[in-house]
Structure 1
């Protein structure tokens, strides 16, 4: 049966990345078709609107990556181990953030502890080593990855607490220091990045419970500055202009690195802010969503969770039924667990022997990190 190219492309664009990588071997025509940038865009536009293409990228205490499908019935199923984006004896890994099917990974070598920054596609297993920022990585930093529609380029923003904020446009291949927010100090809470583990000597430690990431939405990065009690900071990646968005009344901003957390997230394309606060041995988590971007009055408190054990909660994903996937840190358990906001879908991992450092939801994509950079 001789099908038209448009029909074949439409059929293939609905298939998982894993199948498409195999189907490149069917014929030279299919190889060329699947490799086209137009097809990559068409496939991703379909994938981001289909929950079956949403995956969870997990990092465990052994610095092994795993991916899992998401389902509102069974949170994690068919967990598959992924090859690490680079080899060698490594001292520490961290997933900084995920965007458009790409993951920004930080790596430190042992014993030199040299810093390596990777842009990785967990679906295709392709990765590229990015240039290191100009300033030292000894200070705990927070990162963001976003796409600049104006320049048709992906950009990475790094902020720290010593007025050394930098931005990297992938097409330029070099980091550039940017002006700091007018408050004068973009203070970032330390989360003891890249703890040294001796095999069997230390328990699994939650290395990111006290620092979030730069949430990217509406062409801008968003984060909470410890010097701003009533506003979050915004940074447009097109014109590099700072701004502020007023926070909701009732947000608990207490910068205690041991037992509290606040941050910004994006759920279903909507800006969110959350906080966890301790009071007389009880932890209270609150989550707000901004229904009308930039309008303070549109903040809506989605739900509150009270617990004596969950000292840090981060929203990761919102299902079609409104249920929210949460990454939780427990006082009585090493590492992180994942559960839904209504707690009806169970907890993963269920075994105390499994220790997950962190996890991010990403959309399957054919985008090649190597094609996004000039070097």
Structure 2
């Protein structure tokens, strides 16, 4: 291979599946740099509970035939857990929640089979959101938990807690440490795990949140180095509104920039705003508009709900923006049951055909960069 021109080597490597590329990074530094430079669509980690409970797959867009997308999935080795939930992915490592240990987090690399149970954290709340990141300067992986109570049980029934205090407990764990540290409380209630987390430059985690005395949502960031929270300045359309339906609903990374998803109150369209210069309010720009769409599989499975609610309502409640593909199209996930590619230029939707062992009725998906990293072994610093 050393005698081959770099263009030929690059052509060969570009045709390899993700698992082979991961192994090829170990050949030499030149190959590692070359593989890093290859432009690929992101790969994905999927968890399905049918036909096998808590089975992990690596998903990769293998081909595009006649305008159709296919995502081929490869079954991955299982961690030593009988039942778990995929919470997050960072730099090749997965954060899993152990169902049989009260959803305690664990760390797992499915390509090396490295697995770590984390120290127990005594919780006093019934709702938690986890952030998982790697700081490229301190070389530390950290897990941050934001938790608060939304329901209490009394007299055999559940009661919603008055949200007026809007306080959440924050704990952080540096992987390799034996204990969690309590960072105090913050005046935020963070949205659900999967629809409101974005990581910029590894060390900055972002969530959509509610705050006391604010009717609409805000975006908060957490710095893995300073371990401090900060509010992100919003565009005028969201920062000045008192209508809770006009705030942002999701955060996502588009072209390396912090981006946010908003549903216009007077429109069926989903809007994607991009912060082109991080931290600068004036750099927010509405870059994409996605019309209402409901995948066929949901119409078949949820026919009764579709008859009750409008297409616009279902679109707002079930759409999650995953990422932008190298083609400039958007990958959308619908209610953990369907993947769709949206072309912003032609304004068309294409169903993604998933190749599984069996036909799952529900899956959890996260963007993933597969590699051979472990907590104390940094083979590749590529960030997802």
**TM-score scaled by structure 1?**
0.70
TM-superposition CA deviations, 1:313-371 (whole Å, max 9, x none): 22212112321111122xxxxx4211112244423449995323321121121112475
Q: Does 1:142 align with 2:129?
A: yes
1:83 Cα deviation after fit: 2.3
Mapping of residues 45-64 of structure 1, within 5 Å: 46-47=34-35, 49-52=37-40, 54-62=42-50, 63-64=54-55
Q: Which whole-Å CA distance do the structure 1 matches of 2:31 and 2:123 have between them? A: 38
Q: Which residue of 1 aligns with 2:56?
A: 65
Report the CA distance between 1:254 and its aligned residue.
6.9
Aligned residues: 316
Deviation digits for residues 52-99 of structure 1 (CA, Å, limit 9, x no counterpart): 4731111123322111212583543332122221243x3xx3222212
Map of 2:282 onto structure 1: 297
Pairwise CA distance, 1:243 = 1.8
Q: Which residue of 2 aligns with 1:121?
A: 109
Mapped partners of 1:179, 1:214: distance in 2: 22
Pairwise mapping of residues 265-344 of structure 1 onto structure 2 (< 5 A)?
Answer: 265-276=252-263, 284-307=269-292, 308=311, 309-310=314-315, 311-329=317-335, 335-342=336-343, 343-344=348-349
Gaps of 5+ in 2: 149-166, 293-310, 379-384
Q: Distance in 2 between matches of 1:149 and 1:50?
A: 21
Which of 208, 230, 235 is equivalent to 1:224?
Answer: 208
Whether 2:94 is the aligned partner of 1:98: answer: no
**Equivalence for 1:34:** 26
Contact 2:251-2:260 within 8 A present in 1 as well = yes
Provide, for residues 26-74 of structure 1, a one-character-per-residue CA deviation record: whole Å limited to 9, x for no partner: xxxxxxx939xx96x973x655543447311111233221112125835
1:287 and 1:151 map into 2 onto residues whose CA distance is 33
The change in CA–CA distance for 1:17 and 1:70 in structure 2 (over 3 A counts) is closer
Instruction: Report which stretch shifted further, 138-147 or 243-252.
Output: 243-252
Partners of 2:41 and 2:329 in 1: CA distance: 18
Unaligned stretches of 5+ residues in structure 1 = 24-32, 192-207, 330-334
Could you give the per-residue CA deviations for residues 99-140 of structure 1, whole angstroms, max 9, x where no partner exists? Answer: 21222111212xxx533322122333432222233425x622
Q: Report SS of the residue matched to 2:96.
A: strand
Distance (whole Å) between structure 2 residues aligned to residue 300 and residue 17 of structure 1: 34
Match of 1:188 in 2: 190
Residues 275/165 of structure 1: CA separation in 2 closer, same or farther (3 Å cut): same
Compute the TM-score of the two structures, normalised by the length of structure 2.
Answer: 0.69
1:54–1:364 CA contact under 8 A, matched in 2: no
**Cα separation, 2, equivalents of 1:114 and 1:230:** 29
Q: Within 5 A, what are the aligned runs for 1:150-189?
A: 150-161=137-148, 163-181=168-186, 184=187, 186-189=188-191
Inter-CA distance 150–52: structure 2 relative to 1 (3 Å threshold): closer
1:16–1:364 Cα contact (<8 Å) kept: no
